[in-house]
Structure 1
Amino acid sequence: MSYAGYFLIAKPILQDPNFRRTVVFLLAHNAEGAFGLIVNRPAEAEGLPWPVFLGGPCPSPGLIMLHGHAEWVEASEDGTQAEKERQLAPGIYSGDAACLDRATQTEDPAELRFRVFSGYAGWGSGQLESELAAGAWSLTPANGAILFDTPVEELWDRLAPPRIPEPSIN
């Protein structure tokens, strides 16, 4: 089963500093591996009117954009919308340079539903499946309402599965 279009939520047992308390949006998942973006790690970006998120420990050749604006998806040459090709999950679309131009031309970028990432998270063949089997991650279907409407600092707490408190010995 492909988990592309799902949120991958780090469980508390996962202490790797690259992924501790992260939420990863999986863009691709197949027999060759998995590719996703950490969606709850804003980074400092000088000279930009919006934050750039640290998408993961692997360097990306450029910026990667996700957005929640179906109207930003360009029509294909035959006049039909390419929405289905660009939609990664309900209400989440991959963006291109034209989308980034639209975002920068608005008067209040904070009102827009988009995120820009540098870097990505990647797993080799079978690696993510092994981590899931070991209990390091939980999964839930992704959607734009969760990604764009939940404050970044609350995303992991909202999506992390309930935890059983540690027993105390008094």
Structure 2
Amino acid sequence: MSEATKPISGCLLIAEPFLGDPNFERSVILLCEHNAKGSFGLVLNQLSNLTLKDAIDDCYVEIPLQVGGPVEYNTLHYIHRLGDLIPNSVDLGDGLFWSGNFETLKTLVNVGQIEEKDIRFFLGYSGWGEGQLDAEMNKNSWIVSEKNTDLIFDTKPKEFWRKILRDMGGSYKVMSNYPTDPRLN
């Protein structure tokens, strides 16, 4: 996996080990949209204690919900590798899609045509206003990496931050072993 230098839609933002923001400590964010007006992303490695069945009245499947970020925790977002099966999905490349027609998705989930391994649901999102993410990048708060769709869906959320850094190799592999609190080392 090669490191990119600037964030682009579809890339991963990996929190520096000592970012200092509890909302994003050891987070990996899929950047779904990045433009002059701002940025929108979903944290890939923070589980909630809720399932889809808990959040949506007419959904009957207990797919775990993740925390997409601290903004609008009362909204539901999703990524998937189902392509055109979900109309109006946004293609993020590498077989990864964001959003799409929710009614179609809900029907397919309820009748068992979508497996948990092909979709991730998120409460809330991570958002940055105009120029905000670029300012954070200038402070070296984030490591930018290309995405790997299989890694996103096949890695347990608790292991994601360490795994992606280890896979990047070199100094990133060393960074993956940094303690959460260096004072306890």
**Structure 1 and Structure 2 fold alike (TM over 0.5):** yes
4+ aligned runs moved over 2 Å, structure 1: 107-110, 160-166
Larger fraction in helix: 2
TM-score (norm 2): 0.74
Question: Hey, what does 1:162 align to over in structure 2?
Answer: 173
TM-score (norm 1): 0.80
Q: Find 2:107's aligned residue among 101, 111, 124.
A: 101
Task: Provide Cα deviations, 1:69-103, integer angstroms capped at 9, x if missing partner.
Answer: 125133xxxxxxx6xx6212312112331123212
Q: Using the alignment, how far apart are the partners of 2:92 and 2:114 within structure 1?
A: 25
Q: RMSD value over aligned CA atoms?
A: 2.3
Which runs of structure 2 are paired with 1:1-150 in the superposition (5 Å)?
3-45=8-50, 47-48=53-54, 49-59=62-72, 62-74=75-87, 86-95=90-99, 96-97=101-102, 98-106=104-112, 109-110=115-116, 112-150=117-155
Q: What is the CA-CA distance between 1:107 and the residue it aligns to?
A: 7.8
Q: Using the alignment, how far apart are the partners of 2:42 and 2:113 within structure 1?
A: 27
Contact 1:89 1:143 (8 Å CA) reproduced: no
Gaps of at least 5 residues in structure 2 are: 1-5, 55-61, 166-171, 179-185
Contact 2:7 2:13 (8 Å CA) reproduced: no
- Aligned amino acid, residue 83 of structure 2: A
Task: Provide Cα deviations, 1:21-78, integer angstroms capped at 9, x if missing partner.
Answer: 001000111111111011111101154411111110000563111111125133xxxx
Residues 70 and 139 from structure 1, CA distance in 2 versus in 1: closer, same or farther, beyond 3 angstroms?
A: same
Q: Using the alignment, how far apart are the partners of 1:139 and 1:29 within structure 2?
A: 13
The secondary structure found in structure 2 opposite 1:132 is: helix
Contact 2:32 2:98 (8 Å CA) reproduced: no
The secondary structure found in structure 2 opposite 1:62 is: strand
Paired positions, count: 156
Gaps of at least 5 residues in structure 1 are: 75-81
Q: Using the alignment, how far apart are the partners of 1:13 and 1:143 within structure 2?
A: 24
